[in-house]
Amino acid sequence: MRLKFILAILVLLLACALQFWFAAAGVFINFILGALIVFAFYFDIWELVVFVLFAILVINWQPTPSIDIFVFAIIPIVAYGFYKIFAWTLWAGIPVAIVCGFFLLYLVIAPAAFLSDLVPFLGDILGGLIFGGAVAFILK
């Protein structure tokens, strides 16, 4: 396997740890989703599916599948599809994909909560953009 693949696994583990540590402090930032969306710009579909499944294994909180996890998993795949179709440049495509991906996540899973209070959403996006930028820099 390529070195970049191993590096991405380490980044994903770091994203998981950061997400759980922040969550324990009551701050929810989707570091994992941010990392997966960035991975969509650097890996082929099979490797991306491996990362997505690994993330699901770690974050799935109950024995049965849920719509939340399904949406979470499909967003990086959709980002990959858009990247391949529209051939975005990385510097523009990654931020746009993160913002759109997070927006889609909130819109599908909790539209009412999302519309009533935008602060958690904006904080989540900001955290995702910063972390996503760092991941893109590492994988460059």
Partner 1 sequence: MGRKRVSNDHWISGALIIILAALIFFVPSYGWDLRAWLSRTPGGPSGQTSTATDASSSEDQTLAAENDILASQLAELQVVASELPTSTAGEIRAMVYSRYPLNFRNQLLTNAGSDSGVASGAAVMFQGMLIGRVQTVFSNTSLVQTIFDNVFKMPVRIGSGGADGLLEGGSYPTIGSIAIGAAVAPGDIVYSAAPGIPYGLPIAQVVATSTSADSLFEQATLAFPYDVNNIETVLIMK
Residues at the interface with partner 1 (CB under 8 A): 1-2, 5, 13, 16-17, 19-21, 23-26, 28, 30, 32, 46-47, 49-50, 53-54, 56-64, 68, 72, 105-106, 109-110, 113, 120, 124
Q: Which is nearer to partner 1, 4 or 130 (CB)?
A: 4
**Could you tell me the smallest distance in angstroms from the CB atom of residue 46 to partner 1?**
4
**Could you tell me the smallest distance in angstroms from the CB atom of residue 109 to partner 1?**
5
**Could you tell me the smallest distance in angstroms from the CB atom of residue 40 to partner 1?**
15
Q: How far is 32 from 46, CA to CA, in rounded Å?
A: 18
Q: Which is nearer to partner 1, 28 or 126 (CB)?
A: 28
- CA torsion through residues 29, 68, 102, 120, sign: negative
Q: Where are the beta strands (DSSP E) in 4-133?
A: none
Q: How far is 13 from 31, CA to CA, in rounded Å?
A: 10
Show Cβ contacts of residue 101 under 8 Å, excluding neighbours closer than 6 positions: 33, 37, 75, 76, 78, 79
Q: Which is nearer to partner 1, 81 or 123 (CB)?
A: 123
CA dist 95 to 88, 98, 131, Å?
11, 5, 11
Q: Which is nearer to partner 1, 4 or 91 (CB)?
A: 4
**Could you tell me the smallest distance in angstroms from the CB atom of residue 96 to partner 1?**
21
Running DSSP on this structure, what letter comes out for residue 44? -
